[in-house]
Chain A
């Protein structure tokens, strides 16, 4: 697996293996390639309600795979603007395209300063390397 697939540049990362991509006023959130690989076949995603408020690193939603259920934490505090409802019928999108069609949530109203608490691709790659 290439480094780029594992952790593409231009995104922000958390220690809990979430990624964030800024799209204007919105922050798109998903699970990293490492996270989807560790979870195995994902069978269900319990998405938050639109307009729900989340805190940075607070519980945001739950992802279930054939072997476990894992909490997903909000990389930034804010309000849920959109959820990826395609995951309701196709949770496998998370395994197939975690940085694209398998996104989880879009947040709005977040504080730019909170981005300082996140890692860039290089730092996240380092974290993965240490773990292996």
Chain B
């Protein structure tokens, strides 16, 4: 059985039909510097060889580490029911629900997901989801640019550096002005906010795990008729002041903590919720609930005039996809937790992290960097380079955290430690004892 799409004979026949002698001739219209130099592909292998090769590669990974890694992506427990339910064929292989009469189940599941995101954020409307938290943040920034017709975005340096890099990459050719500054203290906004400011982008908890009340920040940005954008952790929303309570216009975030595995970085789930006034400028799909002629409840994709298949270059965004299966996992996770359960889960994360912070800061030479309050992640300053400490800890079977020097050169000794409900008191003990031993 061949799995390659066409044989050399097939290619020769196609080229002959085009009156060409070679594949190079076929692509001659593409300027030379733009053509691929090489695909850099190794020679083919048989199926057993591929299995062995991949197993060998996987074996190079440090396996079964006790993980205290966070930085925006967290190792939470995923109830078995989540995967069991999303694996049902009706969900797993569903296509875009353009035909409402064929897709009531999928449409309702998206509607329920949107409702859950609205309840978590306190805002009026949510879309069907975006690729991931970083994409959602960029789309929120672009909403602010479109809505205000202004060019300047102020981004706090405590917003995830990964997302800030994504924002720069996405906007590099859009003639916008990205201003990065530490505006944790609202006084720092003085002189930055002006009549060219489209929006202010903040994160809660911030990248260092600290919870904030950004109410004064959003009041200030509204004062100059800009928009307030808040990146948030969906589990922290169960206990923290909501984006709506702070006055944010747009809330976005990474939905991975809601029942999705870390799985090497994806697929993840970008969520977005907005105030009613911004509903029509929101990108992505939106499912609405309505009634048919006989008064029966029905669900459908709505407000599609925002989308590219109707509005072409005027579309709110050229994202024409959503992460329906991941969104479904999230709404199932939230349903299993329930309102009370989610609060308990959030509180458990906070108490476990607080215990770890106490244990680590008891080590001579290790100190807390921030005053708190924290959610489930915090910074500690080590007496040595955090990268060195982390690599020594790997040998003990522990991923001790994220060395902040990678994104913040002035923080070479700072370690970002995340503690979820999955980390037992015993494991936190290993972390503290191990760290003390390697310093």
A residues with a Cβ closer than 8 A to B are 43-44, 46, 62, 64-65, 67-69, 71
Bound complex: CA of A43 vs CA of B280, how far in Å? Answer: 12
**Closest B residue by C-beta to A69:** B305
Is the beta-carbon distance between A68 and B280 smaller than 8 angstroms? no
> Is B314 engaged at the interface, CB distance under 8 Å to the other chain?
yes
CB-CB < 8 A to B280: which residues of A? 44, 46, 64
18 contacts between A and B (CB under 8 A): A43-B305, A44-B280, A44-B305, A46-B280, A62-B314, A64-B280, A64-B305, A65-B305, A67-B310, A68-B305, A68-B310, A68-B311, A69-B305, A69-B306, A69-B310, A69-B311, A69-B314, A71-B314
B residues with a Cβ closer than 8 A to A are 280, 305-306, 310-311, 314
**Chain A-chain B contacts (Cβ-Cβ < 8 Å), number:** 18
Question: A-side binding surface: helix, strand, loop or mixed?
Answer: strand
Bound complex: CA of A71 vs CA of B311, how far in Å? Answer: 10
CB-CB < 8 A to B311: which residues of A? 68-69
CB-CB < 8 A to B305: which residues of A? 43-44, 64-65, 68-69
Bound complex: CA of A69 vs CA of B306, how far in Å? Answer: 8
Residue of A43, A64, A67, A71 contacting most chain B CB atoms (<10 Å): A64
Bound complex: CA of A67 vs CA of B309, how far in Å? Answer: 11
Bound complex: CA of A64 vs CA of B314, how far in Å? Answer: 12
Taking A46-B280, A62-B314 as known contacts, 16 extra A-B pairs with beta carbons closer than 8 A to each other, sorted by chain A number, are A43-B305, A44-B280, A44-B305, A64-B280, A64-B305, A65-B305, A67-B310, A68-B305, A68-B310, A68-B311, A69-B305, A69-B306, A69-B310, A69-B311, A69-B314, A71-B314
B358 CB to closest chain A CB (Å) equals: 53
Bound complex: CA of A67 vs CA of B303, how far in Å? Answer: 10
Bound complex: CA of A62 vs CA of B310, how far in Å? Answer: 14
CB-CB < 8 A to A68: which residues of B? 305, 310-311
CB-CB < 8 A to A67: which residues of B? 310
CB-CB < 8 A to A71: which residues of B? 314
CB-CB < 8 A to B306: which residues of A? 69
CB-CB < 8 A to A46: which residues of B? 280
